[in-house]
Amino acid sequence: MTQAGQATNAKTKPQAPAANTKAAEASAQATTDAAAAAAKEAADKKAAAEAEKVAKAEEAEKAKKAAAEKREVERAEKAKQAEEAKALKAKEREAEAAKRQAEREEKAKLAQADREKKAAEREAAKGDEAKAREAAKAEKAKEREEAKAKAKTEREEAKAKAAADRVAATAERKKARENSAASRHQMWLDRKNAIKSKDARRPKATHAYLTTEGAFSTPQPTSTRGRVLAHIKTLIKPGEQVSIEQLATDCKPFLYGTSVRSYLSKLEELGHLDLIHVPEPKAESDTKTAEGEKAKDTASA
């Protein structure tokens, strides 16, 4: 009980005798003292508990702070190590880059030296090739000149030979013509003489037979003799015959009164025709080939 409570109780209680009063007061004081002691003890315990709690809190705070400081130190150490590792890596990369750069520069130097060497070799080769081309060109020019000179000589020789051959051929043709002309002339004379010698014995010719053998000469197409021969060839083919009477009638417009027999006789002498006697046919045209007897009185050349 508190002192205020005890005082209130003392006022309300009836007054006791003095001895009792002291005893009561002593008891009350003891009670009060006990209560005060208990209150103090409780307060002390509470204070101790509070102090212990504060101490524990302070200890926990210190521990927390120490742990935080430790973590900070560790973090700083790790950050330092990371920076150092980063710096080391950077140095390694720089060293590697420098090494690669040095290798590239060395390779570039070697490549440049190789290019310069090859360029020098190409220039030297170009010079050699140019010399070789010039030599080949000179050789070809020489060969061309020699070929031209040889061709010129061959042309001149061929020209001279051709001229000689032409002269020889001309002489040979002339001689052949002379021989041929002489031969034809002789054959013509022989034929003419043979015809003349037999004219008295053979009957009068009734037909002109177109020979298949070569004649001794060819009359001019515009001459009367040539026109008579051309007309005969329009009527019959070689190996066929036509009547002289028909020819006299057909050729009358350009004979101008001359007998056709005179031209036929000349054509016979030249070997174009054979004048033959054909008996009167029974029923045949004079323009067809005779199937009967053919009297041939002249010797063909």
Phi, psi of 209 (to 5 degrees): -105, 120
273-276: strand order across its sheet: 241-243, 207-210, 273-276
DSSP secondary structure code for residue 121 in this structure: H
Residue 290: pLDDT band by 50, 70, 90 thresholds? very low
For the chain, give the number of residues.
301
Q: 142-182, pLDDT tens digit by residue?
A: 999 999 999 999 999 998 988 888 888 877 776 666 556 66
pLDDT at 250 over 90: yes
Least reliable range by pLDDT among 113-127, 247-261, 266-280: 266-280
Token duo for residue 130: 């140019």
pLDDT at 296 over 50: no
Residue type, 61: E
The helix (H) or strand (E) run that includes residue 205 is none
The SS3 assignment for 274 reads: strand
pTM for this predicted structure? 0.35
Q: How far apart are the C-alpha atoms of 228 and 64, rounded to whole Å?
A: 161
How many CB atoms within 10 Å of residue 301?
18
The SS3 assignment for 271 reads: coil
